[in-house]
Structure 1
Amino acid sequence: MAPTASPPKVPPVNSKPSQCAPRFLQMTADPVIMETPPTPSAPRQSQHSEIAKAVMAAPAVTMSRTKSTSSNKEGADFLAPPDLYPILSDTPLATAPNSPRIRATTIDVPGLTKSKVSPDGRIANRDLGSKLVIVMVGLPARGKSYVTKKLERYLNWLQHDTRIFNVGNRRRVAAGVVEGPAKAANGHPPPVQGTGLLSSSFAQLDIDGIASAGPTHRRTSSTGDIAGSMDQTAEFFDPKNTAASELREQVALETLDELLHYILYEGGSVGILDATNSTLKRRKAVLDRIRQVAGKEIGVVFLESECTDEKLLEANMRLKLQGPDYKDSDPVQALADFKRRVKMYETTYVSLGDFEEKLGMQYIKMIDVGRKVVTHQIRGFLAAQTVYFLLNFHLSPRQIWITRHGESEDNVAGKIGGDASLSPEGKRYAKALASFVAYQKKHFHERLLQKHSTSHLPPHMGDTTPPNPQYRNTYQEDDEGQPLEKNFCVWTSMLKRSIETAEYFDEEEYDIKQMRMLNELNAGNAEGLTYDEIRAQWPDQYAARKRDKLRYRYPGAGGESYLDVINRLRAVIVEVERMQDHVLLVAHRVVARVLLAYFLGLRREDVASLDVPLGTLYMLEPKPYGVDFKVYVYNSQTQWFDYKEDYKLKNDEQKDVVIGR
């Protein structure tokens, strides 16, 4: 028989508790006067929701997006039932004690944070509360795709796996207008072909008794009732067009299912649903579907892009004519048809506002692409980072120039790091750089004036280009309404070789500033050594760096990794996005690689191996649908820069690098 524990000693009823006693002892009641025993405490709940448990039990593999012809379980596609698979292999089990609340989710930054479930700082699959679904809202030609592409590029650059799921692209495939590509240019799996998006097993998916496909979400083939292609003119978007409306709703929800698969089972951190989502009914269906499949933990932010400026809206509409819906169409008829399409949407359009606020939903409203930003109930690290980035949006035309410093004495000796001065050749490069940038600054202003003279609202005969889609108060004009010449900033690091490269720029003409954030990656104990010396002294460290240059951190005081450089350059990137002036960044090899990776949307595996030779000048001009990218190479014979047409970025092995933009 097990021994019986003795009851604790209790002070007399009339005695006062000691002032030094713990508070819980001071509040203890006399057990003698208790008439009923205390109610047994409820068993402690798991710190994970049932949805999170289901995700943790799913496989740590990317599931097939094509229907399997075999009978094995690996052929099930999309959100296959979690109980078909063994426990997740890349996410350790929880080590914290059970808690009656859903576990806290806080900051996760690859390379800067670390935990047992996330040793590399990436968001673990179990932490659904740290992941984010962004649902776009807005009428056509309001800049939604522009916003989503920049946001995807920024978050991926910060190493948070992010992907856009564009309903319009899948709608064209489902309607038979275009064929689905075999593989997307950015290396992502191709969009699903509009039919058979969901497997039969997924149609019956039930998580903890919650049916994944309720009566509101009829899961059928999105092209089953369509013979041939369906016309994509304004009539297709008429709410009275029942067949087209049903197709659009089905494609939207099927695209959302693909997004949720990415978030739950492919390790994605952020999924962006790019669609109009302009009605309360559609937004409710989207939110219901997310909650049915992913539970209540996962963050959902509705992001609306609204345009009130007439010039900005007209410019956006004219740019829209270059898209796939109006390819090879008469521009006058196409513009008229597109405006009819917008009118169709406007009949049922409901902006974000009272409905979402009453339900406590997170939302962001961007007005005139950054002129005004309204937020409501923003929660979570990624949602806050999204708002921070969106506060610095604009469409003002400008140029961003990036180059390495001129050749230094350490470059000649083959040493890394250090703080050497320029060599004689490096000084000649610095002088030519100042002259060439001055020429380009003047030439850009001449082009801006010419474009301004051939851009009118409404369009005039002979206009060949649409006006720049920018809010009208984002640039300065003279008394005749002509845009004034833009300021030009020159930013260097605080290292001598970078500062000396900018010494020929006139302080009266350029705003010159030194920034410690632009310093070269600190090599710690390896500063001032050659790579051969590093390999001889620390062969293990040399091999570790070769295996994973992106995450490798040099040992010793101040030693950094590429991930460290990315995070200290975040403030620079946001400032470049915010400012409307030209800027030249005189940087170093690693810094130039990281900057180019952001502006060009390079793949993660290419960042640390990008070939960025000395004497190369990169020009980036942001556009509504990407970045205009040009490269100039210094010619020591002419002491000028030669334009390299069709320039291809290479890696260290001289293989082509894919540009996302």
Structure 2
Amino acid sequence: MSSGGAVIDSDDEGEIFNGFGSAPMSRSTSQQRTSKRWSFHNNTRPNLMDMPSGAELKRRLSDITGADNVHEEMALSVLGGGQLYSTESGRLFHAGKIIISLAGLPGRGKTHLSVSLTRYLRWLGVKTHSFHLSNYRRASAEDDLTHDLFVPSPNTSKANEIRKKIVDDCLSDILNFFKNDKGQVAIYDAINALPEYRIDIHQRFQKLNIQVLFIESLVTDDSIVMKNMEEAARSSPDYSSWDYDKAYKDYSERIKTLTPYYKEMGDSIESNLSYIKFINFGERIELHNSNYGYLINKVVFYLMNSRIKVGSVFFARCYKNSVEYSEDPPLDAEGLQYSKNLASTLFKHLTSQGKTYIKELNELNEKHRPLEPQRTLSVDERHPAAGVDGVDENSLVVWTSVKQRTIQTTKFFAERNVKIRHRIQLSQKNPGVVSGLTDDEIEEKYPDEYKHYERDPYHYRFSRAESYHDLAIKIEPLILEMERMSGDILIIADDTILKVFYGYLMSCSCYDIPFLNFSTNEIIEIKFNAYSNSATRIPIVSND
């Protein structure tokens, strides 16, 4: 079936004729994972750039490893935590196939942007994958090519051949992703320095009925470029075994070599392209040819809330996590000691990382200067509007639920003038009629309901209860607020809430989230990174 020369896949036809959103979500299909992966060095990989659209092709995805799952292959049956519905094809029915092609000089946060967008879209249940051209370059390039490989017109035929090869390999993988993996959004992370490159990408994919959106990351603030260069020198896969000073110098030379060649988007020959100028990583956004559909508008909305993340998110399980949902007791003596240990442990950890705001507070204590604790806003009082916290990357904000025991756990943070925010969205999952029952008791009392729950513990809700999926929808405003913030955040809440937050930050499948384990004996730290987040455990030390 074709229209205007565009090729429509058979799975799209099936979705049209069989109905949208009718496929049930089941635990059994979610466990079917594809184990076969293509290697960058496998010369038998399919080349979609030169093959007819109807050819039978095998799967190949860019093979990237990381501390979280954001780079892992997203199986058709694996759903994002915030997904509203599913379809037979795995694609949202009110959005077509989209390629988001990035553009911008090195050091402008393109990789950070591609990874964070992938994380958010996967959370919404959109089958998304980032294709980093740098991965293909590292797999194909040789050491003696230096920076010649990065310029649009390399000086040597060898560099020119390798440059063409890695671009074709990457674009072939993207087309395989759409055709064989039923992908919906591919993110092409490359410099795309010249208008003719960008026009070629637009024409290639438009012929296949794939929407093309460019996001150009521009930076006019030198301090942002400097920070990005420092981060790349420390953590970029290009410099995994390099000395920091040598890596920083090499990356700086790469930028200087490429800068004269780069042409900013806006040339008259690009007038038909749809693109977003993302300036100073969210300081200003310009839209061009912005007749977008639902999914691209979600991308724009995310960009409006996106910043380069600095700092960490800390998770602490609230005291007496087993307290029934309807109860709201204050902290007892043991709970007060727990809150003291929690604050002491986190302050020591932050001090060991050289956090200056903790050092300043410690100096005040040593000089015996009286501190006036911030007055904790009550649940009934209006908190500051979103956006006032996390402006300074050298800061700490504590989020808690509105339960007494979580509010009172912040006592020793408030004494240090740390900002405390109570969020009603952080209230624990309502268990409904099974409140206070063990799994065995639930199975005995509600056998049929328990069978449904066992099949899908993430989405199933008992009578008068909430599901984990309900929590995911409830905390989405907090996820976006967190994305706007820099600095450190501590979230003190019930483990049901922590599981969902962790699932977002580490790109967990919704089928894994209910089985995450949080202990009151430790703090979990999620560190942001341009390439992948990482999670570490911090034992809570007694402070008698």
TM range, normalised to the smaller chain?
0.7 to 0.9
State whether structure 2 residue 102 is matched by structure 1 residue 151. Answer: no
Q: Which runs of 5+ in 1 are unaligned?
A: 1-44, 68-74, 86-107, 176-228, 451-473, 477-482, 641-661
What code does the residue aligned with 1:157 have? W
Q: Deviations over 1:378-416 (max 9, x none)?
A: 4122222222222233346434221111015x45xxx6x
2:298 to 373, 376, 385: 385
State whether structure 2 residue 466 is matched by structure 1 residue 560. Answer: yes
Aligned to 1:586: 492
Q: Deviations over 1:345-395 (max 9, x none)?
A: 333321122447621x32122222233222223412222222222223334
Within 5 Å, which residues of 2 pair with 1:118-137? 118=86, 123-124=91-92, 127=93, 129-137=95-103
Q: Measure, in 2, the Cα distance between the counterparts of 1:168 and 1:307.
A: 20
State whether structure 2 residue 512 is matched by structure 1 residue 597. Answer: no
**Aligned-residue offset at 1:278:** 1.1
Q: Measure, in 2, the Cα distance between the counterparts of 1:65 and 1:583.
A: 37
CA contact (8 A) 1:405 1:497 kept: yes
State whether structure 2 residue 280 is matched by structure 1 residue 403. Answer: no
**Aligned-residue offset at 1:546:** 1.8
Aligned to 1:233: 146
Q: Measure, in 2, the Cα distance between the counterparts of 1:517 and 1:491.
A: 10
1:162 to 128, 137, 158: 128
1:278 to 185, 188, 193: 193
What code does the residue aligned with 1:151 have? L
2:8 to 28, 44, 52: 52
Q: Measure, in 2, the Cα distance between the counterparts of 1:48 and 1:549.
A: 45
Q: Measure, in 2, the Cα distance between the counterparts of 1:371 and 1:342.
A: 22
What code does the residue aligned with 1:521 have? K
CA contact (8 A) 1:616 1:634 kept: yes
Change (3 A) 1:235 1:261: closer
Change (3 A) 1:406 1:48: farther
Change (3 A) 1:529 1:351: same
**Aligned-residue offset at 1:337:** 4.6
1:432 to 341, 364, 385: 341
Q: Measure, in 2, the Cα distance between the counterparts of 1:526 and 1:582.
A: 36
2:482 to 570, 576, 599: 576
Which has the larger share of helix?
2
Change (3 A) 1:400 1:326: closer
What code does the residue aligned with 2:525 have? M
CA contact (8 A) 1:525 1:556 kept: yes
CA contact (8 A) 1:495 1:519 kept: yes
Within 5 Å, which residues of 2 pair with 1:496-575? 496-506=404-414, 509-551=417-459, 553-557=460-464, 559-575=465-481
Within 5 Å, which residues of 2 pair with 1:474-493? 486=395, 488-493=396-401
Change (3 A) 1:615 1:575: same
RMSD: 3.9
Please state whether the residue corresponding to 1:347 is helix, strand or coil: helix
If you compute each CA radius of gyration, which structure gives the higher value, 1 or 2? 1
Aligned to 2:374: none
Change (3 A) 1:355 1:531: farther
Please state whether the residue corresponding to 1:302 is helix, strand or coil: strand
Q: Deviations over 1:275-330 (max 9, x none)?
A: 111111211221222123x31xx332111112222233234334434434455557
Q: Measure, in 2, the Cα distance between the counterparts of 1:561 and 1:586.
A: 20
Q: Measure, in 2, the Cα distance between the counterparts of 1:254 and 1:340.
A: 26
Q: Measure, in 1, the Cα distance between the counterparts of 2:11 and 2:52.
A: 10
Identity across the alignment (%): 27
**Aligned-residue offset at 1:52:** 2.6
Please state whether the residue corresponding to 2:183 is helix, strand or coil: coil
Within 5 Å, which residues of 2 pair with 1:177-196? none
What code does the residue aligned with 1:316 have? N
What code does the residue aligned with 1:600 have? M
Q: Measure, in 2, the Cα distance between the counterparts of 1:512 and 1:634.
A: 20
**Aligned-residue offset at 1:568:** 1.6
Change (3 A) 1:230 1:355: farther
**Matched residue count:** 465
Q: Measure, in 1, the Cα distance between the counterparts of 2:158 and 2:13.
A: 39
State whether structure 2 residue 516 is matched by structure 1 residue 610. Answer: yes
Q: Measure, in 2, the Cα distance between the counterparts of 1:113 and 1:329.
A: 44
Q: Measure, in 2, the Cα distance between the counterparts of 1:340 and 1:262.
A: 34
2:219 to 297, 307, 312: 307
Please state whether the residue corresponding to 2:512 is helix, strand or coil: helix
**Aligned-residue offset at 1:143:** 1.5
What code does the residue aligned with 2:185 have? V
What code does the residue aligned with 1:428 have? Q
CA contact (8 A) 2:80 2:510 kept: no
Q: Which runs of 5+ in 2 are unaligned?
A: 16-28, 57-78, 360-389
Change (3 A) 1:445 1:152: same
Please state whether the residue corresponding to 2:537 is helix, strand or coil: strand
CA contact (8 A) 1:63 1:76 kept: no
Higher relative contact order (CA 8 A, sep 6+): 2
Change (3 A) 1:423 1:49: farther
Q: Give the stretch that moved more between structures: 151-160 or 274-283.
A: 151-160
Aligned to 1:495: 403
Q: TM-score, normalized by length of structure 1?
A: 0.62
Aligned to 2:137: 171
Aligned to 1:372: 284
Aligned to 1:197: none
Q: Measure, in 2, the Cα distance between the counterparts of 1:633 and 1:612.
A: 12
Q: Measure, in 1, the Cα distance between the counterparts of 2:526 and 2:514.
A: 20
CA contact (8 A) 1:111 1:120 kept: no
Please state whether the residue corresponding to 1:565 is helix, strand or coil: helix
Aligned to 1:3: none
Within 5 Å, which residues of 2 pair with 1:83-482? 113-114=84-85, 118=86, 123-124=91-92, 127=93, 129-175=95-141, 229=142, 231-238=144-151, 239-241=153-155, 242-292=157-207, 294-295=208-209, 298-322=210-234, 323-326=236-239, 328=241, 335-355=248-268, 358-359=271-272, 361-378=273-290, 379-395=292-308, 397-408=310-321, 410-411=322-323, 417-421=325-329, 422=331, 425-440=334-349, 446=355
State whether structure 2 residue 544 is matched by structure 1 residue 632. Answer: no
